[in-house]
Structure 1
Amino acid sequence: MKLTRIAACAVLAAAALSLAACATSAAPAPTASSIGGDVIAPVTMAADDLQGATVDLLVGQVLNITTGDLAVDSYTGQVADAEVATFVEGRTDGSAEFNPGVEAVGAGTTDVTMTNSDGGIQPLRFTVVVTEK
């Protein structure tokens, strides 16, 4: 009888510890204020619409460039003034595709040229105007 009570107590203690481990709370999702400010939605444009365009961005904002039927990693880009904006190459990571883009890093105006490795496609030239938030 005494051995049965000890075994029952051991089972109850193990169950209590298991439930306590499940009761831990998850960390809250980061908010805009916890990651350093307001979240700015990206501007999305098709590569076909960029030729000769002027794109207005805020510092910290990203121009997301959709490539249509062309591979996201087939474009390279040059930004005339890296203190105003930087080019972000597109890539494929497993089943996820990430479009190429331009990230606004400082106030000013710069020219961007994108070329496609598939050839036969004229370079895309457009202007990015970046202003402070």
Structure 2
Amino acid sequence: MKISKLIGVAAAVTLAFSLSACAQSNSPVIAPVTMDAGDLQGETVELVVGQVLNINTGDLAVDSYSGEVADTSVAEFTKGYEKDGATFNPGVKALADGATTVVLSNSDGGIEDITFTVEVGK
């Protein structure tokens, strides 16, 4: 009887430590910044390393945008797509400290390029 109680206590203690370890993380969660594509022209978007600019494309298809980042060591463009009924907006991910220009182009005719700056800090 004593052995089964010890095993039960040991299991409970192990579970408690395991759950507390899962709850603690060394890296903070960084919320994305969401902006409409039409609001980006000429703007400066401030991000921290690891943060993402989520670009809302409105009525236009998320995969109709492409992006060129001037300094790919500072940020990278991620193309939008749809998969299994889920929609993923295009975006820009901050990689390292610095500033870079981003130019968004749309494959739908008659839409001007959108040029903006991304400033990345720590």
Q: TM-score, normalised by structure 1?
A: 0.74
| CA displacement at 1:31 relative to structure 2 | 4.8
For 1:77-88, list aligned pairs within 5 A: 77-88=67-78
Computing the radius of gyration from Cα coordinates, the structure with the larger value is 1
Say what the alpha-carbon RMSD is for the aligned residues: 1.6
Unaligned ranges ≥5, structure 1: 1-24
For 1:36-55, list aligned pairs within 5 A: 36-55=26-45
Regions of 4+ moved over 6 Å: none
Name the amino acid aligned to 2:75: A
For 1:54-93, list aligned pairs within 5 A: 54-93=44-83
- What is aligned with 1:111? 101
2: CA distance, partners of 1:100 / 1:80: 17
| CA displacement at 1:121 relative to structure 2 | 0.3
Q: Show CA shifts across 1:24-58 (max 9, x none).
A: x9x96x5561xx50010000000000000000000
1: CA distance, partners of 2:57 / 2:24: 29
1: CA distance, partners of 2:36 / 2:75: 18
Q: TM-score, normalised by structure 2?
A: 0.81
Q: How many equivalent pairs are there?
A: 104
Q: Kindly, what percent of the aligned residue pairs are identical?
A: 58
